[in-house]
Every structure is written in C-alpha cells, then in structure tokens.
Amino acid sequence: MEQAQRQRPAWLRVKALDAKTREAMLSALSGLHTVCEEANCPNIGECFGHGTATFMILGSVCTRNCAFCAVAYGEPAAVDDSEPARLAGAAHRLGLKHVVITSVTRDDLADGGAAQFAACIRALRRLDPPPAVEVLTPDFQGNWGALRTVLSEQPEVFNHNVETVARLYPQVRPHADYGRSIAVLAQARRHAEASARGRMLVKSGLMVGLGESFDEVVVTLGDLRDAGVQLITIGQYLQPQRGKGHCEVARHVAPEEFASYAEIATEMGFTGVASAPLVRSSYRAESQLRQARLD
C-alpha cells in the first residue's frame, strides 16, 4: 500500500507551485486562510497561478479529526469579527468574480459558525460589483436554524460534501452521518425552490479511491439527485502528506472510470458535473456555475 501511495500514476502528477507566485498570493490574501494550503490541495499551482483561491474561514484548526483530511485538529481560536471585511478586501484586490468560502468544522460554536458564513456573504455583497458567492459548509450537526442563517443570505451556490459512500462513514467521517449530510442538501434545495430569488444551486462532492465500489458510487449519486443536488464533483482521494491516522489510498482510479461516473451523473440529471482524478470541491467552480446556468 505504501508503495502504491508513493508511485502515483501520471494523471495525478501536477506542476509544483513556484515560490514567487505563492508569495504574491499570500501577500494579496493578507493572512487569511485558504483550503488550498491547509488541505494540501494538488491544484494550488493552477489556482494560485490564475490569481484565485478558496477561502477557509473560522481559523485553521478543526474540531473534527476526519481520517481523510489534512487540516489540523484541536482546539480552535475565538471567532475573528474582522475576518469578513478582510476576506472581502482580498476578493476585491484579486478581482474575483466568483468567491468560494469554506471553513473548518466548529462544533464548539452553538451555530457551528453559520453567523460567520453569513457575515462573509454580506461583506462580499457590498463590493461593487459584487462577486458570485459559493459556500461549502459543514453539516452544523443538523442544526436547521444555523443552516437557515446561511441560506437566508442567498449564495449563488450552496455546497456540502458527502465526501464518501455511506458504508465508509465510520472509518472516513466518524463524527459525521451520511443521512444527516443528505438531509442538509435536501433542506438547502427546498429553501432554494421556496425562495423568491430561486437561483441558488445546490452542490456536493465525493472522493473515490477509499475502498468504495463502483455500484456504491452510483447509489450515492442517486441519493444526491433525490435530495435535489444539481452540481457534483468527483475526485481521487490522496492521503495527506503530514500526520498519521489518515486513510490509505485503496486504489488510484483510472480516468476512464471518472468518465463513466460523469456519464452516469449527466444521465441522472445533474446540470454540472466535474469528474476527474484532480477534481476538488471548488476546482474551476466559476466555470461549473457558468455552464450550469447556460444549460
């Protein structure tokens, strides 16, 4: 297994991020956290190279210790009230037309950090012109009031990742619940349909290569469509470089299998499908939203 992890196939090799580009982006981001760096995203070179990033709010320390994730686990710091304004300032400096906001999971907060998501969306709406906003939230432990706090701000895209198939939750996401994640997505879709604005799209994503079967992925896609999810991302799980206790890569899924998932998802009725080895939740998110609206 360790040998397989070291020897990644050609389709998983990416160009390294050069120091000059990293320094320029970190300067523009003014000390804000990004999932690009904290989660060791393989696409950081491409995204930073194009002057874009996925913002990670509420600090860089997560209250959950999921076996797939590189983000640090421990006791988080207090919520930073200046973060929404600083995030909006960075988005303005970078000239972003589509801003993706995610967070660590904050089970220590009564609302799971929902108020901070809402404050960030409001700060971005005050920009001229305001960018499209995509949020990738935790499950808020099933707190529907917290979820409504985010949804009431009407982001263009609401995303919550199921991450993996139901059978693997105890190993991969021991503090989460598959049914709860599906319910979060279904609630978001109901809110979108009831909204006067009515244009919010619901999105989710999952990783493959954790030991799931092809049929289990298809079942998961069906569950997501039944919940009203419109946009889907599917990518290869890569074991984090740092730390121990992470799931090992069960296999490197061939591009042809990703193409099969994309075909099946399209036939199911997803309006936006990104399925390839290096796809991540916010990978080329602006393009996916644009294409979904054209369709």
- Report the pLDDT averaged over residues 50-68: 84
- Report the predicted TM-score, pTM, of the whole model to 2 decimal places: 0.91
Q: What are phi and psi of 253, to 5 degrees?
A: -80, 130
- Other CB atoms within 10 A of residue 63 CB: 18
pLDDT attached to residue 226: 98
Judged against a pLDDT cut of 50, whether residue 139 lies above it is answered with yes
- Report the pLDDT averaged over residues 176-203: 91
Determine the Cα–Cα distance for residues 153 and 253; give it in Å rounded to an integer.
38
Q: Both tokens of residue 252?
A: 């490197």
Judged against a pLDDT cut of 60, whether residue 2 lies above it is answered with no
Alpha carbon dihedral 21, 26, 29, 30, in 10-degree steps, equals -150
Q: How many residues does the chain have?
A: 295
pLDDT attached to residue 282: 81
Indicate the pLDDT class of residue 5, thresholds 50, 70 and 90: very low
Domain architecture of the chain: domains with CATH? 2-294 (3.20.20.70)
pLDDT, tens digit, 9 for 90 and up, residues 18-51: 676 667 676 777 778 876 665 566 666 666 666 6
Which are the contacts of 253, defined by CB distance < 8 A and separation ≥ 6? 208, 209, 236, 277
Judged against a pLDDT cut of 70, whether residue 277 lies above it is answered with yes
pLDDT, tens digit, 9 for 90 and up, residues 97-111: 999 999 999 999 999
SS3 102: strand
Helix, strand, coil distribution of the chain in percent, nearest 5: 40, 15, 45
- Report the pLDDT averaged over residues 198-208: 92
- Other CB atoms within 10 A of residue 204 CB: 29
> What does the radius of gyration of the chain's CA atoms come to, in whole angstroms?
18
Determine the Cα–Cα distance for residues 50 and 179; give it in Å rounded to an integer.
37
Q: Both tokens of residue 276?
A: 């390839």
Judged against a pLDDT cut of 60, whether residue 112 lies above it is answered with yes
Residues 153 and 122: beta-carbon distance below 8 Å: yes
Which are the contacts of 235, defined by CB distance < 8 A and separation ≥ 6? 205, 207, 208, 275, 276, 277, 278, 279, 280, 283
- Report the pLDDT averaged over residues 129-153: 96
